[in-house]
Amino acid sequence: MANRIILNETSYHGAGSRAEIVNEVKRRDFKKAFFVTDKDLIKFGVAEQIEKVLNSGAIPYEIFSELKANPTVKNVQDGVDAYRKSGADFILALGGGSAIDTAKGIGIVVANPEFYDIVSLEGVADTKNKSIPVIALPTTAGTAAEVTINYVITDEKLKKKMVCVDPNDIPIVAIVDPELMYSMPKGLTAATGMDALTHAIESFITPGGWDMSNMFSLKSMELIHQFLKKAVDEPTNKDAREGMASAQYIAGMGFSNVGLGIVHSMAHPLGAFYDTPHGVANALLLPYVLEYNAESPAGPKFKEIAKALGVKATESMSVEEGVKAAIDAVKALSVSVNIPQQLREIGVKEEDIPDLAVAAFNDVCTGGNPRPTSIADIEVLYRKAF
């Protein structure tokens, strides 16, 4: 069996690295940017920082900001229509997963117009052409959308989050500038950081994990343990922001190539049903699913998770002690950054749980779970978390 790794052609990291936009655009002889971002980033002046870079290089651009926190089929279709009218020849995506996922969808459909319905992109779509070139700049330290081959679009008609997996969608350039993350409020910093932790842990225990992806996953956990709470408590702490920017990107390098599990399967319907922020859903569900997945071949790996999260003397622990230590460490970090601990706290309706369980079981991430599962098992997990 061959283990495949797909990453960006080029990535830049560090404070001020957004200036490299000009060099990349000139080197590739691009003419005009289709600038995908969201209205909040425009409102709070983050988009303006990128406009200054574009203006300094005399790079024409057109802004598209008609998107939602959980981007929809219509958002992508509207973006495709706007791109075609713009005269742009590349996409510049600024934001969290919402903006970058929207940009990926636009880029894929412009290059593969037969998928304009968007819903046919769900799962592993048989696209023939690489996306229109995308340069992605994350403003959150969580989704790692800038380095993954995945994007998520909501089908509002079916109340369904569609996970799209396509090597043709990966941005050609990722620019991870922690200065763009300074304006993130504490709640978003916490939720996106726990999203990154979920990526790292799920990719570490999925059956598809191997030496290289495990290296990424463990390093990401170490950095999150070291920097997440500090980034939440001290939003302009340079070291903490840089540490979390690296942690989420490294986690993305891993999970994009080996997959995830039912934390994500269960989180996606919450976003589709209630518009729950993805990071909050993942963070809340993670301890419950870890307890479930401890009864799998991945159980012995929990000691390594515990060690990466700062637990001492894990080498002498039994498997059972390692499992408990890992779950306790995840819970402690989650509580320390004020993540809700029960689904009822975030507006989930108990009567929806059977439908949520069916949607979660049918999610593309379910196949990556280390323990074979069922609709009934997932329903039990939702009820425990409720």
Q: Annotate 81-102 with b (16+ C-beta within 10 A) or e (fewer).
A: ebbeebebbbbbbbbbbbbbbb
The structural domains of the chain, with segments of one domain joined by +, span 10-181, 186-385
**pLDDT score recorded for residue 158:** 86
247 pLDDT exceeds 80?
A: yes
Q: What is the mean pLDDT of residues 116-145?
A: 96
Query: Tens digit of pLDDT for each residue in 301-329?
Result: 999 999 999 999 999 999 999 999 999 99
Residue 256 has pLDDT above 90, yes or no: yes
Contact 62, 110 (CB under 8 A): no
DSSP conformation letters of 286-346: HHHHHHHHTSSTTGGGHHHHHHHTT-S-GGG--HHHHHHHHHHHHHHHHHHTT---SGGGG
Q: Which amino acid is at 314?
A: T
Q: Residue 69 — very low, low, confident or very high, per pLDDT cuts 50/70/90?
A: confident
Among residues 244, 254, 247, 248, the alpha carbon closest in space to that of 214 is found at: 254
Average pLDDT over residues 211-238: 97
> In CATH, which of 3.90.420.10, 3.30.160.100, 3.40.120.10, 3.40.50.1970 is domain 10-181?
3.40.50.1970
Task: Provide CATH code, domain 186-385.
Answer: 1.20.1090.10
Burial degree of 161 (CB within 10 A; 0-12, 13-18, 19+)? buried
Please give the pLDDT value at position 229: 97
CB of 6 within 8 A of CB of 212?
A: no
Judge if pTM exceeds 0.85: yes
The pLDDT assigned to 316 comes to 94
CA neighbor of 192 nearest in space, from 96, 267, 333, 309: 96
Q: What is the distance between the alpha carbons of residues 150 and 163, in angstroms, rounded to a whole number?
A: 7
Q: What are phi and psi of 206, to 5 degrees?
A: -70, 145
365 has pLDDT over 80: yes
For 355-380, give one letter per residue: b (16+ CB within 10 A) or e. Answer: ebbebbbebbbbbbbbbebeeeebbe
Q: pLDDT grade, residue 68 (50/70/90)? A: confident
Q: What pLDDT shows up at residue 97?
A: 86
User: pLDDT class for 41, splitting at 50, 70, 90?
Assistant: very high
Q: State pLDDT tens for residues 147-173.
A: 999 999 999 888 888 999 999 999 999
Q: How many CB atoms lie within 10 A of CB 320?
A: 11
H helix runs in the chain, sequence order: 20-27, 39-43, 46-56, 73-86, 97-111, 186-205, 211-233, 238-258, 262-274, 278-293, 302-308, 319-336, 353-361, 375-385
